[in-house]
Amino acid sequence: MKKVEVFGTGCKKCITTQEMIRSEAQQLSIEIELIKVDDPLEIVSRGIMSTPAVMVDGKLMHKGGLPKRQEISQWLKEN
């Protein structure tokens, strides 16, 4: 199961990002572990300054804005 982390301090874009990933995973019927990281200290210690950012299995895929649906499904599908 893929571990997907969404980094953000709680702005609207971060919440939207999280929702997009959840619904995309549901649509593709891929089970994921979706974690929201909102502690600023942890965000920084993971090397992230622009939020929202997305890590899949610990690898940074995206930062500083909303991802595209197409991108999300790519992350979820690739092995």
Partner 1 sequence: MFEFFTQLADFLAYNLLQLDPQTHLAEAVHFFIEDTTKIFFLLTTLMLLVGFLRSWVSPEKVRQWLDGKPKLLAYFLAVTLGAITPFCSCSSIPLFIAFLSSGIPLGVTMAFLITSPMVNEVAAILFGEAIGWTFTLAYLATGMVTGMVGGALIDLLKVERWVEPFVFQATVSAIDQEELKVSMQRRFYYAWEETSDILKRVWLYVLIGVGLGAGIHGYVPQEWFIAHAGADNLFAVPLAVILAVPLYSNVTGVVPVADVLIAKGLPVGTTLAFIMSTVAISLPELVILRKVLRPQMLVLFVLYLAIAFVLVGYGFNWLF
Q: Pick from 28, 50, 57, 77: which binds partner 1 (CB under 8 A)?
A: 50
Q: Which is nearer to partner 1, 11 or 31 (CB)?
A: 11
Which of helix, strand or coil describes residue 13?
Answer: helix
CB of 51 to partner 1, least distance (A): 5
Q: Where do the DSSP E strands lie in the chain? A: 2-7, 32-37, 53-56, 59-63
- Amino acid, single-letter form, for residue 31: E
Structure tokens at 18: 């999280």
Residue 49 within binding range of partner 1, rule CB under 8 A: yes
Judged by the rule CB under 8 A, the positions of this chain that interact with partner 1 are: 8-11, 13-14, 40-41, 43-51, 60-66, 68
